[in-house]
Amino acid sequence: MAKKRIFSGVQPSGNLHIGNYLGAIGKWVELQDKYECIFCVVDYHAITVKQDPEVLKKKIIEIAKLYIAGGIDLKKAIIFQQSDISAHTELAWIMNCVARISDLNKMTQFKDKSGQSRENASVGLFAYPDLMAADILLYNTDAVPVGDDQAQHVELARTLARRFNKQFGEVFRVPELIIRKEGARIMGLD
Protein backbone atom coordinates (compact mmCIF):
# COMPACT_ATOMS: atom_id res chain seq x y z
CA MET A 1 0.00 0.00 0.00
CA ALA A 2 1.34 3.42 -0.97
CA LYS A 3 2.20 5.89 1.73
CA LYS A 4 -0.03 8.90 2.15
CA ARG A 5 1.50 12.20 1.07
CA ILE A 6 2.12 15.28 3.20
CA PHE A 7 3.11 18.76 2.11
CA SER A 8 4.35 21.63 4.24
CA GLY A 9 6.69 24.58 4.06
CA VAL A 10 8.41 27.41 5.91
CA GLN A 11 8.84 30.98 4.71
CA PRO A 12 12.42 32.21 4.28
CA SER A 13 11.75 35.43 6.16
CA GLY A 14 12.61 36.57 9.64
CA ASN A 15 15.23 34.95 11.80
CA LEU A 16 15.41 31.21 12.21
CA HIS A 17 14.57 30.14 15.74
CA ILE A 18 13.74 27.17 17.94
CA GLY A 19 10.07 27.61 17.06
CA ASN A 20 10.86 26.68 13.43
CA TYR A 21 12.26 23.39 14.66
CA LEU A 22 9.75 22.57 17.39
CA GLY A 23 6.75 23.86 15.48
CA ALA A 24 7.49 22.38 12.07
CA ILE A 25 10.71 20.62 11.21
CA GLY A 26 10.86 18.40 14.29
CA LYS A 27 7.37 17.14 13.48
CA TRP A 28 8.32 16.55 9.84
CA VAL A 29 11.26 14.39 10.92
CA GLU A 30 8.85 12.24 12.92
CA LEU A 31 6.52 11.92 9.92
CA GLN A 32 9.05 11.10 7.20
CA ASP A 33 9.00 7.34 7.85
CA LYS A 34 5.21 7.16 7.80
CA TYR A 35 4.42 9.49 4.87
CA GLU A 36 5.67 10.43 1.43
CA CYS A 37 6.98 13.91 2.28
CA ILE A 38 7.16 17.08 0.22
CA PHE A 39 8.69 20.09 1.97
CA CYS A 40 8.96 23.48 0.37
CA VAL A 41 10.76 26.74 1.00
CA VAL A 42 7.74 28.98 0.36
CA ASP A 43 9.48 32.06 -0.99
CA TYR A 44 6.43 33.44 -2.77
CA HIS A 45 4.71 33.64 0.61
CA ALA A 46 7.64 35.64 1.94
CA ILE A 47 7.25 38.40 -0.66
CA THR A 48 3.70 39.22 0.45
CA VAL A 49 5.47 41.71 2.72
CA LYS A 50 8.51 43.86 1.91
CA GLN A 51 11.76 41.90 1.61
CA ASP A 52 15.35 42.77 0.81
CA PRO A 53 16.05 40.60 -2.27
CA GLU A 54 19.64 39.81 -1.28
CA VAL A 55 18.65 38.84 2.25
CA LEU A 56 15.78 36.75 0.91
CA LYS A 57 18.14 34.78 -1.37
CA LYS A 58 20.32 33.96 1.63
CA LYS A 59 17.32 33.01 3.78
CA ILE A 60 16.08 30.58 1.12
CA ILE A 61 19.38 28.68 1.34
CA GLU A 62 19.35 28.89 5.16
CA ILE A 63 15.88 27.33 5.35
CA ALA A 64 16.89 24.48 3.03
CA LYS A 65 19.96 23.87 5.19
CA LEU A 66 17.80 23.99 8.33
CA TYR A 67 15.54 21.30 6.87
CA ILE A 68 18.52 19.00 6.34
CA ALA A 69 20.31 19.90 9.59
CA GLY A 70 17.03 19.38 11.45
CA GLY A 71 16.88 15.78 10.27
CA ILE A 72 14.97 15.77 6.99
CA ASP A 73 16.39 12.82 5.06
CA LEU A 74 16.75 13.56 1.35
CA LYS A 75 16.21 9.85 0.64
CA LYS A 76 12.79 10.06 2.31
CA ALA A 77 11.61 13.56 1.37
CA ILE A 78 11.55 16.06 -1.45
CA ILE A 79 12.78 19.58 -0.64
CA PHE A 80 12.41 22.39 -3.15
CA GLN A 81 11.96 26.13 -3.60
CA GLN A 82 8.38 27.17 -4.35
CA SER A 83 9.31 29.69 -7.06
CA ASP A 84 11.07 26.96 -9.06
CA ILE A 85 7.67 25.40 -9.86
CA SER A 86 5.42 27.76 -11.86
CA ALA A 87 2.39 25.54 -11.28
CA HIS A 88 2.13 27.02 -7.75
CA THR A 89 1.24 30.45 -9.08
CA GLU A 90 -0.87 29.05 -11.91
CA LEU A 91 -3.02 27.07 -9.49
CA ALA A 92 -3.07 30.03 -7.09
CA TRP A 93 -4.80 32.03 -9.83
CA ILE A 94 -7.42 29.30 -10.15
CA MET A 95 -7.86 29.28 -6.36
CA ASN A 96 -8.29 33.09 -6.50
CA CYS A 97 -11.17 32.51 -8.90
CA VAL A 98 -12.77 29.86 -6.65
CA ALA A 99 -12.28 31.72 -3.35
CA ARG A 100 -14.68 34.40 -2.21
CA ILE A 101 -13.77 37.74 -0.68
CA SER A 102 -15.81 36.63 2.33
CA ASP A 103 -13.53 33.56 2.69
CA LEU A 104 -10.42 35.72 2.77
CA ASN A 105 -11.96 38.37 5.03
CA LYS A 106 -12.19 35.69 7.74
CA MET A 107 -8.44 35.03 7.74
CA THR A 108 -6.99 36.31 10.99
CA GLN A 109 -3.36 36.37 9.83
CA PHE A 110 -4.12 39.07 7.25
CA LYS A 111 -5.68 41.19 9.97
CA ASP A 112 -2.68 40.58 12.23
CA LYS A 113 -0.01 41.25 9.59
CA SER A 114 -1.68 44.26 7.97
CA GLY A 115 -2.56 45.89 11.30
CA GLN A 116 -4.04 49.36 11.02
CA SER A 117 -2.93 49.76 7.41
CA ARG A 118 -5.17 47.21 5.66
CA GLU A 119 -5.69 49.54 2.71
CA ASN A 120 -1.92 49.69 2.14
CA ALA A 121 -1.31 45.95 2.48
CA SER A 122 -0.50 44.02 -0.67
CA VAL A 123 -3.12 42.00 -2.50
CA GLY A 124 -0.62 39.15 -2.20
CA LEU A 125 -0.87 39.29 1.58
CA PHE A 126 -4.65 39.23 1.36
CA ALA A 127 -4.66 36.31 -1.12
CA TYR A 128 -1.84 34.44 0.68
CA PRO A 129 -4.27 31.68 1.81
CA ASP A 130 -5.20 31.00 -1.84
CA LEU A 131 -1.52 30.48 -2.67
CA MET A 132 -1.20 28.19 0.34
CA ALA A 133 -4.22 26.23 -0.89
CA ALA A 134 -2.56 25.89 -4.30
CA ASP A 135 0.67 24.69 -2.67
CA ILE A 136 -1.22 21.99 -0.80
CA LEU A 137 -3.63 20.89 -3.52
CA LEU A 138 -1.06 20.82 -6.33
CA TYR A 139 0.53 17.63 -4.98
CA ASN A 140 -2.63 15.63 -4.19
CA THR A 141 -1.75 16.02 -0.55
CA ASP A 142 -3.43 13.69 1.93
CA ALA A 143 -2.45 15.58 5.08
CA VAL A 144 -0.81 18.86 6.06
CA PRO A 145 1.27 19.18 9.23
CA VAL A 146 0.84 22.75 10.49
CA GLY A 147 0.90 24.81 13.63
CA ASP A 148 -2.43 25.99 14.92
CA ASP A 149 -1.71 29.46 13.47
CA GLN A 150 -1.99 27.98 9.96
CA ALA A 151 -4.93 25.62 10.57
CA GLN A 152 -7.40 28.24 9.33
CA HIS A 153 -5.57 28.39 6.00
CA VAL A 154 -5.62 24.60 5.61
CA GLU A 155 -9.34 24.65 6.36
CA LEU A 156 -9.71 27.16 3.52
CA ALA A 157 -7.73 24.83 1.23
CA ARG A 158 -10.18 22.07 2.13
CA THR A 159 -13.12 24.38 1.39
CA LEU A 160 -11.66 25.45 -1.95
CA ALA A 161 -10.94 21.85 -2.95
CA ARG A 162 -14.54 20.85 -2.22
CA ARG A 163 -15.91 23.94 -3.98
CA PHE A 164 -13.75 23.32 -7.07
CA ASN A 165 -14.63 19.61 -7.12
CA LYS A 166 -18.33 20.38 -6.87
CA GLN A 167 -18.17 22.80 -9.78
CA PHE A 168 -15.67 21.04 -12.07
CA GLY A 169 -15.67 17.38 -11.00
CA GLU A 170 -13.39 15.47 -8.66
CA VAL A 171 -9.92 16.91 -9.22
CA PHE A 172 -8.43 17.63 -5.80
CA ARG A 173 -7.99 15.56 -2.69
CA VAL A 174 -9.37 17.18 0.42
CA PRO A 175 -6.42 17.03 2.83
CA GLU A 176 -6.58 16.36 6.54
CA LEU A 177 -4.80 18.48 9.13
CA ILE A 178 -2.02 17.24 11.36
CA ILE A 179 -1.74 19.84 14.12
CA ARG A 180 1.15 19.64 16.52
CA LYS A 181 -0.02 20.70 19.95
CA GLU A 182 3.36 20.96 21.66
CA GLY A 183 5.59 23.61 20.11
CA ALA A 184 2.77 24.98 17.97
CA ARG A 185 3.16 28.54 19.30
CA ILE A 186 6.84 28.76 20.25
CA MET A 187 8.35 31.92 18.85
CA GLY A 188 11.96 33.02 18.76
CA LEU A 189 13.73 33.38 22.07
CA ASP A 190 15.56 36.54 21.01
Domain count, the chain: 1
53 within domain boundaries: yes
158 within domain boundaries: yes
pLDDT at 121: 83
Provide the CATH number for the domain around residue 56.
3.40.50.620
pLDDT at 188: 47
Read off the pLDDT of each residue in 23-43 and give the average, rounded to a whole number: 94
Other Cβ atoms within 10 Å of 83 Cβ, number: 16
Spatial separation of the C-alpha atoms in residues 180 and 118, rounded to whole Å? 30
CA 117, 119, 120, 123: dihedral to nearest 10 degrees?
120
For residue 100, what are the domain limits?
Answer: 5-169
185 within domain boundaries: no
161 within domain boundaries: yes
pLDDT at 122: 83
On the question of pLDDT at 184 being above 50, the answer is: no
Read off the pLDDT of each residue in 3-14 and give the average, rounded to a whole number: 92
41 within domain boundaries: yes
pLDDT at 22: 76
Q: Which is nearest to 160 in space by CA: 180, 184, 146, 141? A: 141
176 within domain boundaries: no
pLDDT digits (tens, 9 = 90+) for 41-97: 999 999 988 999 999 999 999 999 999 999 999 999 999 999 999 999 999 999 999
CA 44, 154, 129, 54: dihedral to nearest 10 degrees?
-20
Sheet holding 5-10, edge to edge: 77-81, 36-41, 5-10, 143-146, 176-179
